[in-house]
Amino acid sequence: MSEANLFAGQPVMSQLLSLIPKGLLKELSEKHGADRYCKRFFAQDHVVAMLYTSFSGCESLREVICGMQVNQYRLLHLGLLNTPCRSTLADANARRPEAFFGDLFHRLHRLHMGGLPDSLPKNKRLLDRLFILDSTTISLFTETMHGAGAYRSNGRKKGGAKAHVLMRAVEDMPCFVHLTEARVNDRAVLEHLPLPEGSIIVMDKGFNSYAQYDQWDSRHITYVTRLTESAALRVESERPLSQHQRDLGVLSDQNVVLAQHSNTKVKRIKARVVGFHDATTGRTFRFLTNDHTHAPATIAGIYKQRWQIELLFKRIKQHRPLRYFLGDSPNAIKIQIWCALIADLLIKVVKDQAERIAPRRWSFSNLAAIVRQHLGTYVHLMSFLKHPEKALLNYRPPPSQDHQLRLALFRQGA
């Protein structure tokens, strides 16, 4: 591969930032008043600095600023005229609204992943209609956001933030995120979910809400979750089981009615409970769903897809610096979480583009490591990912005049 094809006029960091339209930044900045009273460090500069923090794995303000100062000759290609001071970045994290970054993440998902449709027809395959809901807690060393960790000797807990995440099974990427304090109950996010009609949502039993189940049933949204131990229900009928279903681990299949029978004011909700034994783990589960069509083993298989979101949480926490934060305020903490999610989204976009043109499949961890090591390198990222071995195998940089002179003097001395 020639030098012209391998090297680009923009560093890798700038190529990643090109996936964020400047018009979108301007639109969201005006919407949220992100540049109000700003003289030098604008919203676009703030996005660049925080994404540099996420991509490079910086864990302190000094590390961020020193790293950008080392790359001062590349700042213009990143859209920055100068490096900010530590106090400037700290003040921006405390004052600029975190809703600007949250809205930016969701708009970028809509731009690159297509967003969520208004409805999903039932003739689509299950995986295309499947959404996974869960939450993850990010422990903090301050008590800024309460509700995480164990009680200490003084009776207090350390702080924690919670990310309520909804993802599509076919994307392996969050399509909706809601950030709260760790002490907020998981059910609080249910009313904010942008689920299209005809979709299937799978979640843990921590999101148990009969009122929400009834609303989803009226909107033709299928839910699959685990039955809580304290659930009040009445078995209406037993559904017949084939020997094939029993061999797969299905123990029971029942039509039930949810609600306290002694309380006449509570609305009864018709549902289905599937008992299932997992031979691999030896555990027994009871799944609650309003799906009366698919086989009980299929219901168990749908719930098994929930593990995909746990892998997503592990990936984000491994590759993004969410152990140390650049500020103690809730606003600064949320901004850094949003930027970690934006950085994860941009690498996922590059990964999808590379898989369409490259003969090999790149793992997310390898791609994240390449980006981290070559943020300031003027190499064409997509060309390198297409043929990494061929790109650098026979490449020799053209020698400069000083190098040629030293080489000639060395040979004469020999």
pLDDT of amino acid 386: 83
Q: Which of 316, 368, 328, 330 is nearest to 136 (CA)?
A: 316
Token digits of residue 237: 């009928």
Higher-pLDDT residue of 155 and 104 is: 104
Residue 155: the pLDDT is: 62
> Does 226 share its domain with 266?
yes
Alpha carbon distance, N-terminus to C-terminus of the chain: 34
pLDDT at 7 over 70: no
Compute the radius of gyration of the chain from its Cα atoms: 26
The pLDDT assigned to 118 comes to 76
Percent share of the chain, pLDDT over 90: 47
**Is 156 within the bounds of a domain?**
no
Q: In the structure, how many helices (H) and strands (E) does the chain have?
A: 17, 9
Same domain, residue pair 277 and 337: no
Return all residues near 189 (Cβ < 8 A) that are at least 6 apart. Answer: 133, 135, 164, 178, 180, 207
131 in a structural domain: no
Whole-angstrom distance, CA of residue 285 vs CA of residue 227: 8
Mean of pLDDT values over 226-236: 87
Task: Flag the least confident range among 19-33, 152-166, 319-333, 354-368.
Answer: 152-166
126 — pLDDT class (breaks 50, 70, 90)? confident
Whether residue 185 is contained in a domain is answered as no
Whether residues 211 and 292 fall in one domain: yes
What average pLDDT is seen over the chain? 85
Q: What confidence score (pLDDT) does residue 343 get?
A: 94
Q: Are residues 354 and 296 in the same domain?
A: no
241 shares its domain with 329: no
Domain co-membership, 95 together with 7: yes
Q: Which amino acid is at 170?
A: V
Could you tell me the pLDDT band of residue 338, with boundaries at 50, 70 and 90? very high
Q: What is the pLDDT of residue 3?
A: 45
Looking at residue 151, its pLDDT comes to 64
pLDDT at 5 over 60: no
Q: What is the pLDDT of residue 2?
A: 46
Give the whole-angstrom CA distance, residue 285 versus residue 36.
53
Residue 377 — pLDDT band, cuts 50, 70, 90? confident
Instruction: Judge whether residue 1 has pLDDT over 50.
Output: no
Residue 127 lies in a domain: no
Q: What amino acid occupies position 197?
A: E
- C-alpha to C-alpha distance for 89 and 49, rounded to whole angstroms: 8
Please tell me whether residues 94 and 8 are part of one structural domain.
yes
Count of Cβ atoms closer than 10 Å to residue 376 Cβ? 20
On whether residue 253 sits in a domain, the answer given is yes
Tell whether 143 is covered by a domain: no
Sorting pLDDT into bands at 50, 70 and 90, what band is 147? confident
Q: How many domains does the chain have?
A: 2
pLDDT for position 382: 87
Lowest mean pLDDT among 50-54, 183-187, 313-317, 405-409: 405-409
Query: 77 and 40, same structural domain?
Result: yes
Report how far residue 346's alpha carbon sits from residue 109's, in angstroms, rounded to the nearest whole number: 9
200 domain-assigned: no
- Does one domain contain both 296 and 340? no
Domain extent, residue 380, equals: 3-101+325-391
State yes or no: pLDDT of 374 exceeds 90.
Answer: no
Q: How many other CB atoms are there within 10 angstroms of residue 59's CB atom?
A: 15
Tokens of 106: 């969701």
pLDDT of residue 9: 72
